[in-house]
Chain A
Amino acid sequence: MSNITTVEAFGDGFISALFPELMLFAGLLLLIIVPNLGKGTFRIPGTQIRLPWLLGGTRFKFTSDPRLPAWIASVTLGGAFLNVIYVFSQGLERVVIVSESGKELLLVNGFSRVFEMIFFGALALAAFSSMNRLQVKGIGSRVSEHELYNNRRQADFYILMVTCALGMSVVALAQDLFVLFIGLELASFSTYVLVAFLKESKVGVESGMKYFIVGSVASGVGLYGLSMLYLWAGSLQFSVLSAAFAESGTTALPLIGIGFVLVGFGFKVSAAPFHFAAPDAYAGAISPVAGVLATASKAMGMLGLVRMLLIVAAPESSEGSAVWLACLGAMAAITMTWGNLAALGSDNPKRMLAYSSVAHAGYMLAALTAVGAWNWDATISGDAGAAAVAVMTALLFHLVVLVAFKLGAFLVLSVLESEGGASRLSSLGGLAKREPLLAVAMFIFMISLAGVPPMAGFLSKLLVIMGIVRIAVGDMGAEIADGGVFVLADMHWVWWLAFLMVINSAISVFYYLRVVVVMFFDEPEEGREGPLPSGWQVRLAILACVLTTVFVGLAGDSLIRICEMAAQSLNYGW
């Protein structure tokens, strides 16, 4: 384990530690400036001399290309993603960024790097594949006002994508509640606008409004919780809070505070009962954005939960289970069951995927619950630290691979959407005849979501179940070998969460298969028999998702190791 390096903001090592974020910042500036470059001149007052200063005026052919913002955003996000991968290959360092007064602001370690990988990867794929979505005709000087307006919107869309990524990565790095909240709100506000981006359509505006109102209420509640924590501990620093919690965490004020924070992040991961806005938001947003909500935004919420529950309110190794254990366990059980049952009844593929994402949130909450139980009984919980790391590994692995198959499924829907809607299950009809490879891709995503081997979704679900069972069983095997006698009831009750998970996976197969059946069995809808709209970018993105899903499913060892490394760096007390 490498030693921790302390770096002051803008001091030595600052740039190398935060290189991906700085890349995003540079990309953001480029996105704002480059599309505005033109033949604009500046007249020196009182003279006739005009100096070219390149901003405004008739734009160059190159800078008025509507695809330019998309390319800038994709390259920026993709570059940041590759940079994170490169950092992994170079071996991780732990860098903490402190303010002048010595307060810890940001912490760069394996844990935050994995989340950066998730965020940048998901947003890069979404940005890249949206290139086919918002295309406008007419390039150069002969653009109508409407088209020009649309070109401007191109830039808006991708600026929001990049700010979203920036906000999310700040959440990943934050070591301070204030910084965390800033990042959270930056990402949230970007997603609110992205959801409502199709303002011409009624459903887009409606879903954007719903998402905004529910989201801001949740944020408000969460903020109230944070302020209570501040009131109680007198600091916003994670390190201070966690020390205070270990001392007197079971008094009313911090518990209520944590409860409120749970609401705020519960909305972000769309955990029941805070999930009501999610299906509307997913259905109204364009598919790549919905995919971002289901993967990156969810990972951000999960990250917040992990920070609050496992760092701030973590149980000490001496005190058994965490205080929030029963509450979170119930939430996990309700979330996964509710999500699956609701998905059974939805005919809109995007709503179906939204509910499936609620169910997946339930699985992840179950894993988080298990971590809370990591040292439930000193005699049989065994090597609990390793078990906690195993569950965290599973959680991270699940979040990473979810990007491949969840976002991939949304991208397939996005191809259909650009043809005229993907709001009914029958829109997928005959996809196998219209474009077999796309149907095969969707099939792979569906069975991966359902957890059928040999796809990545199976491996991630297996890891989660294995983590939960490991915590529940503990060291009973060794005890039995020494002559101990155990019954089923001796296992920790989180084992039943694993049981509920496999039952829920079985239920979920029903609605995932329905999509497959429609694609391979039903005829196309009337007027949609022809070939699908072209666009190589979205297909390339889908291909990347397919390859990741299959490859990680077959050979996930290296990714598991990366996630394990990240999980180990989360809490050195384990």
Chain B
Amino acid sequence: MQDWISMPLVGFPLVASIVLLAFVSNADASMRKRLSDPIRMATLVFSLVLLAITTGMFFQYFGDVSWEGISFNSYEYTHRYNWIESLGIHWTVGLDALSFPMVWLTTFLLPVTIIATWNEKNGAVYFPIILAMGGALIGVFVALDLFMFYVFWELTLIPMFFLILKWGGKDRKYASQKFFIYTFTASVVMLLGLITLYFFQDPVNPLQYAGSMTGRTFDIPTITQHALNENSNGNWYLGANIQKVLFAMLMLGFLVKLPAVPFHTWLPDAHVQAPTGGSMLLAGVMLKMGAYGMFRLPVSLFPHALQYFQLALMAIGMVSLVWGAVVCLGQTNLKKMVAYSSVSHMGVILIGIATMQPMGWAAALFMMFAHGIISPMLFAVCGAFKHHYHSMEIGAMRGMAKHSPWLATSMMFAWMASLGLPLLAGFVAELMMLIALWYFLAAEGWSVFWMVGPALVLAITAGYYLWSMQRTIFEGGDETQPPESLHGEPVPDIANPEKLAMLILAFFTIVFGVMPWIALDMMHDWTVQIFEGLIMPILGEFSGGA
């Protein structure tokens, strides 16, 4: 088995982008313009190489890895090097059924983003930054060391900050700083939680991979194994009080990143001001870091605390779901509406986690994946809209179907996918979440009327999407008016690279809608594994058998 293959996934894009940026940093403006084309081509090729690696991993080209059989807390393609030995920090990478879909998604979105924003200005700098963003995101997902995880977690902020600051909209200065400070604040609290967790390890047992100075380790598999041993004996790992506090501290970081109401206010600002490419990666992958982190750390380590906070998380998820959808109804800005719809969909993920059902967790995992394909398409449409009509206002452009059939079709497709049309990827996740919620209500003995909330939200979602479509695509009939912001110029349709990107995204939305098992099987296996190992003993303890 070629284990080394997981190494270039992180290192290669980061190193390549730094080399490219160093290369252009001293070039003057005209030189940069000339360099733009080859650099764009180079980043596209690099990202395609990454995609080829992850796709090869899926098709077991790099060794006999069965993604469906990976048990909880075992990893494939693992590599461990000493990094900072005195503190027990290792460069540890590895993939399991939780992280692999996310890694594939990241490598898939990189070339698509590059294609969709083919003509972005100052490309000689823009495309390497996109590549760096991809490297940092992959790093978050493959890291199996708390320190490394945190380093990449924060590293993602830097390219995104610059993407918003240099290529963003009118209020980009405000939005980029808000984005950085908001998420940084949450993650330093998370960091303190991680360090406190680190020192709560028992140093007496000869710990594997422990630091020479501290006697504790940052190694996630080791910590998870200790927690698993303790938790599955029916004890609370680290004791009830400590576990609750640490759970809350870690969750804060992840909830802000997700984001869940009331920590979501950075997202609309960041999205509206971010350039198309930034939005695509932000919504497509960066938000999923929150959900991924929840599964990787608090859920895996502190299942008792999860049980304890279950209803609170459920409430936050419900509020996010409903609040995001209701706010969408009031938006006049297309991109802001899409951003709030993301908040709503992230609520679905949180509800899925809070159900504590294998089905719900699989729904959450699949929602992470499906939303990762659909939301970039939403933002690609918004970006194209902005690019071609110089406006984001719903209603500024009417009768788009007549003037720009390609854009209109893409928009319609993306909107339908996002509101959960059957046979498209989003539907699978939403349906599973509803079933899991049903299980949850039945297990808790609650009234089924609680189902009305999420069901109603689906209707609201359909409402705002259909309404915005009607106002932009169809309204106006034959006497359509091109938007005033075009100043009477002819109405353009989207360019060829954008068409290609839309086609790719639409294709995979259909593929994963019709054949969800491609990704869903491994996710489901993983959730069943973690559930049987981790949650069943707890549920038994709480409610006398499950």
Among B188-196, B300-308, B506-514, which stretch is in contact with chain A? B188-196
Cα A521 to Cα B167 with chains together (Å) = 10
**Contacting pair B181 A481 (CB below 8 A):** no
Q: A436-B26, A477-B201, A560-B84 are in contact. Are A506 and B165 (CB under 8 A)?
A: no
B52 within 8 A of A: no
B87 within 8 A of A: yes
A540 within 8 A of B: no
**Contacting pair A454 B214 (CB below 8 A):** no
**Contacting pair A517 B200 (CB below 8 A):** no
B238 within 8 A of A: yes
Digit string of A449-490 for contact with B (CB within 8 Å is 1, else 0)? 011111000110011011001100101111011001111100
**Contacting pair A478 B26 (CB below 8 A):** no
Contacts of A498 in B (CB 8 A): 192, 195
**Contacting pair B239 A485 (CB below 8 A):** yes
Min CB gap A242→B, angstroms: 26
Q: Pick the contact of A480: B158, B196, B200 (CB < 8 A).
A: B200
Contacts of A450 in B (CB 8 A): 184
Digit string of B175-209 for contact with A (CB within 8 Å is 1, else 0)? 01100110011001101100110111111110000
B452 within 8 A of A: no
Among B112-120, B147-155, B476-484, which stretch is in contact with chain A? B147-155
Q: Pick the contact of A557: B83, B172, B195, B203 (CB < 8 A).
A: B83
Query: Among residues 187 to 244 in chain B, which have CB atoms less than 8 Å away from a CB atom of chain A?
Result: 188-189, 191-192, 195-196, 198-205, 213-216, 238-242
Digit string of B269-312 for contact with A (CB within 8 Å is 1, else 0)? 00000000000000000000000000000000000000000000
Q: Pick the contact of B155: A453, A473, A481 (CB < 8 A).
A: A453
A53 within 8 A of B: no
Contacts of B199 in A (CB 8 A): 466, 469-470, 473, 477
Q: Pick the contact of B198: A440, A466, A517 (CB < 8 A).
A: A466
**Contacting pair B242 A488 (CB below 8 A):** yes
**Contacting pair B165 A521 (CB below 8 A):** yes
Contacts of B26 in A (CB 8 A): 436-437
B166 within 8 A of A: yes
Digit string of B82-101 for contact with A (CB within 8 Å is 1, else 0)? 01111100000000000000
Q: A465-B191, A473-B196, A488-B241 are in contact. Are A560 and B177 (CB under 8 A)?
A: no
Contacts of A514 in B (CB 8 A): 177
**Contacting pair B185 A506 (CB below 8 A):** yes
**Contacting pair A506 B181 (CB below 8 A):** yes
Cα A337 to Cα B192 with chains together (Å) = 18
**Contacting pair B154 A452 (CB below 8 A):** yes
Min CB gap B250→A, angstroms: 13
Contacts of A475 in B (CB 8 A): 203
Contacts of A495 in B (CB 8 A): 196
Q: A453-B151, A481-B202, A487-B241 are in contact. Are A466 and B87 (CB under 8 A)?
A: yes
Contacts of B180 in A (CB 8 A): 509, 513
Instruction: State which size class the interface on B falls in.
Output: 35 or more
Q: Pick the contact of A390: B83, B157, B191, B214 (CB < 8 A).
A: B214
Q: Pick the contact of A517: B151, B176, B214 (CB < 8 A).
A: B176
**Contacting pair B151 A480 (CB below 8 A):** no
Cα A453 to Cα B158 with chains together (Å) = 10
Contacts of B162 in A (CB 8 A): 520
Cα A181 to Cα B205 with chains together (Å) = 48
Q: A453-B151, A517-B176 are in contact. Are A506 and B158 (CB under 8 A)?
A: no
Contacts of B214 in A (CB 8 A): 390, 466, 470
Q: A452-B158, A557-B83 are in contact. Are A478 and B202 (CB under 8 A)?
A: yes
Min CB gap A361→B, angstroms: 19
Min CB gap A356→B, angstroms: 16
A510 within 8 A of B: yes
Listed A/B pairs (23) with beta-carbon separation below 8 Å: A393-B213, A459-B84, A463-B87, A465-B191, A465-B195, A466-B195, A469-B196, A473-B199, A473-B200, A480-B238, A480-B242, A484-B239, A485-B239, A495-B196, A498-B192, A499-B192, A503-B185, A506-B181, A509-B184, A513-B161, A520-B165, A521-B166, A557-B85
Extra A-B contacts (17), CB below 8 Å, given A451-B188, A480-B242, A509-B184: A386-B213, A436-B26, A450-B184, A452-B158, A453-B150, A462-B195, A465-B191, A465-B195, A477-B201, A477-B238, A488-B242, A517-B165, A517-B176, A521-B173, A557-B83, A560-B86, A564-B86
A residues touching B (Cβ–Cβ < 8 Å)? 383, 386, 390, 393, 436-437, 440, 447, 450-454, 458-459, 462-463, 465-466, 469-470, 473, 475-478, 480-481, 484-488, 495, 498-499, 502-503, 505-506, 509-510, 513-514, 517, 520-521, 555-557, 560-561, 564
